[in-house]
Amino acid sequence: MGVLALVGTRKGLFLLRAGDLRDSWQVEGPLLDGWGVFHAIVDERDSTIFAAANHLVYGPTVQRSSDGGKTWRRSQQISAGGFGILEAQALTGRIEESFIRRISSLEDDARRLLLVAAADPVGDPLLLLRACERLGIFVSALDADADGLLTVGERVTFRHPLVRSAVYRSADVQERRAVHRALADATDREVDPDRRAWHLAAAAAWPDDTVALELERSAGRAQARGGVAAAAAFLERATALTLDPARQVDRALAGAQASIYAGAFDAALRLAATAEARALDEFQRARVDLIRAQLAFAASRGSEATPRLLAAARRLEGLDASLARETYLDAFSAALFGARLNETVGLTDVARAASAAPRTPGCGSAVGRARHAGRRLRSGSPPLSGSVGDTLWRSDLGGGTTAVVVAGLRCRTRSLGRRERVLAVAASR
């Protein structure tokens, strides 16, 4: 049958194949080029490869491939803090079908009680009781006719993880909305405003600007505490519930950006398309270009992304100098990752453009130190150290100009606030 070994590295995932004797090996890779892979497994049932990976720009995620590593998709099991969008979908498989049959045979109160529990993943028994009271559900139905599918103790837990999805997705839309409304009413707006806003959104049948505003505020709170996936989920739902076209564009763009950082690339594409369907001003169009360039980086790891990111950065120069310089950093990252694939735009092109870009307040000292680094390198001085930083890359741009990239230079400007250790790109004559 042979042997398959999965080797995760900072450069990507490698597949090593050998026969039973293991006297010779074939190496495939790097797959997921540009991602650091820290763990990988193969599902023996269908040969799907799962890889836990991290990216300099897009952060941690779980990627899956069903074709031996040729194409990859983000796993849908990434946590969003319980705020993922549950939708009615066709359930397949023997396990799900068996659960649906058991749920359908329950009395009405027992089935509705299961739906209340399924609609809120927190598992708070007191919240479950309050919501059931509002819906007129007798909790005694749990013991009398729940068929052992649900247990209420210190937490509300289902017998099997697939029970929750089977209960929720087999219910009709009116039942789900009524349950979410009851859960929103039962949730304290002071103690857990984010959970309440999410249930109000799930209960909404039509766009509602009031609920959309609550979701936007929840997204801000989630992002402030590092919950990027939850923030992306809040903003995606807020976009769908927004009536005002201008506000919808802003929320769609913010949601697309958050989705990219959360690794939810399909959601980012949907939100970018939503924004493009509206009338956009020049800055909004530039932001759409940036989002699509970042998505290209996630897909191609540099070959297509570098020129698109460079074009986006140049377009942003006259609109938002801080964002433009941040985009130049992304373009440089793409050029580094895809150096061997870039045919038209490379490291030196990005360095030239970045060095010529308008300066942003607070970065003068960093740029000055980077230029000083360039002069030291050209004069053959020893590698830089201390407050100046560590040289990552240098290149002769021609015409007596040297480009240098230095790690460790701190900037006070907002554009680089998302990175404690930044890359400063400058040119020195």
The answer to whether residues 54 and 119 belong to one domain is: no
What is the extent of the structural domain holding 117?
92-205
The per-residue pLDDT for 90 is: 47
Which residues are within 8 A (CB) of 257 and not within 5 positions of it... i.e. 6 or more apart? 268, 287, 291
User: Do 372 and 299 share a structural domain?
Assistant: yes
Residues facing 17 on adjacent strands: 4, 26
Please give the Cα distance from 271 to 197 (Å, whole number). Answer: 20
Residue 377 pLDDT greater than 70, yes or no: no
Q: Are residues 423 and 307 in the same domain?
A: yes
Q: Do 398 and 349 belong to one domain?
A: yes
- Domain assignment of residue 378, yes or no: yes
pLDDT band at 342 (very low <50, low <70, confident <90, very high): low
Q: Which of 395, 302, 300 is nearest to 352 (CA)?
A: 395
User: What is the pTM for the complete model shown?
Assistant: 0.65
Same domain, 166 and 35: no
Model confidence over 62-96: pLDDT tens digits? 888 888 888 887 765 444 555 655 554 444 456 66
Same domain, 285 and 379: yes
Q: Are residues 64 and 108 in the same domain?
A: no
Which residues are 170's β-sheet partners?
none
212 occurs within a structural domain: no
For residues 154 and 367, the model is more confident at 154
Same domain, 99 and 68: no
Quick check: 423 and 332 in contact, CB under 8 A?
Answer: yes
Final residue of a domain: which of 160, 175, 205?
A: 205
Alpha-carbon 282 to chain mean position:
26
Q: What is the CA radius of gyration of the chain?
A: 26
Same domain, 293 and 423: yes
Clarify whether residues 64 and 98 are in a common domain. Answer: no
The pLDDT value given to residue 421:
30
Domain count, the chain: 3
- Domain assignment present for residue 80? The answer is no
Residue 116 within any structural domain of the chain: yes
Residue 87 lies in a domain: no
**Cα→Cα distances 96→43, 79, 119, 257, 276, Å:** 20, 22, 17, 35, 38
| 291 and 416 co-located in one domain | yes
Q: What is the pLDDT of residues 16-40, one digit of tens each?
A: 888 888 888 888 888 887 788 888 8
85 in a structural domain: no
